[in-house]
Amino acid sequence: MRGVTTRRRVSHQRPCIVVLLLLCAPAAAAIETAEEPGSPDAAKHASATDVNREVTDPVSTTWSLKLQNNINFIDIAGHGDQVQDTVKFQPTMPILLTSALTLITRPEFTLLDSKPFTTSQGALRRTTGVGDTILDLVLSPKLGPWLAALGPTFVFPTANLNETGQGKWQAGPAGVAGYKTEKFLAVLIAQQWWSFAGAQDRAAVSELHLQYIASYFFGDGWSIGTAPTIAFDWRAEPGNQVTFPFGPSVTKVVKFTDALPVKFEVRGMYVPVHPDPNGKQFIIELVVTPVIPSLIRGPVWSEP
């Protein structure tokens, strides 16, 4: 979560977050696979492990809806450990431009951010609101086992409170590089943002996120791996620029019906390098990712 310095008066209420996910899918729904994108029978013939492999691949042609709950344990100076609870929604909507080139559209909405902070007088307060919105638009060529993508990424200042957003319009490059086999996937996702407009009383932004993902796929939809995000705040004071977490993840894909595969993932991370004070020390992430039918099937431009 990108930090902010401006504070405003907020409610003292500590929210209790309950997320209810209800999904309905038509009987003829299908997932997309790299070999047969848009095939109506793909979901019926794909195993849970195949679905897991496709959803984990950030440049696959599979459409999905990810709901993620981040629980961050923060050491706030003078107040001990406090909990920040964030709920994010990230749909992934790849579009086949040709049989060898995919446009991947991936917005990320912060639906709820329950965040502790200290006032200028040193009192502990908590605020709850929505956060900024991220949008990645990258092009990915088909390169066999190699994974690659490149394009722009944007941050829109949609937060309704100073504490839950940065108040700046931002843009920069995004990229993906990796390799996958039937059993293993390793990939690096990079996003760099610079602010170019927004509230004049908010600090300028220059920030880099690097997510490193490694997964080993077992049978029956199981996998283990890691998927932390390293954050670099280039405008922070020296010594407080880096947040570096690491830790394991466990994933299971369940096919409730042939038309409704859902990926469940639990991640636990320790953060040995973090800003001091008010840096994240431990992170727990709970992720639910339903696979949905592609709304745009087949290449947009057919080859002659």
Q: End-to-end distance of the chain based on CA atoms, in angstroms?
A: 47
Q: What is the pLDDT of residue 13?
A: 38
Q: What is the pLDDT of residue 18?
A: 34
Dihedral-angle region of residue 57 (phi above 0 means left; psi in -120 to 50 means alpha; beta otherwise): beta
For the chain, which domains are there? 42-292 (2.40.160.40)
Q: What is the pLDDT of residue 35?
A: 40
- Using CA atoms, how far apart are residues 216 and 183, in angstroms rounded to an integer? 6
Tokens for 154, please give them: 């944007």
Q: What is the pLDDT of residue 23?
A: 36
- Using CA atoms, how far apart are residues 63 and 73, in angstroms rounded to an integer? 32
Q: What is the pLDDT of residue 304?
A: 61
pTM equals 0.84
Beta strands in 99-145 (DSSP E): 101-118, 124-129, 133-141
Within 10 Å of residue 46's Cβ, how many Cβ atoms? 25
Segments of the chain with pLDDT less than 50: 1-41, 43
Tens digits of per-residue pLDDT, 44-97?
A: 568 999 999 999 999 999 999 999 999 999 988 778 789 999 999 999 999 999
| In contact, 61 and 264? CB cutoff 8 Å | no
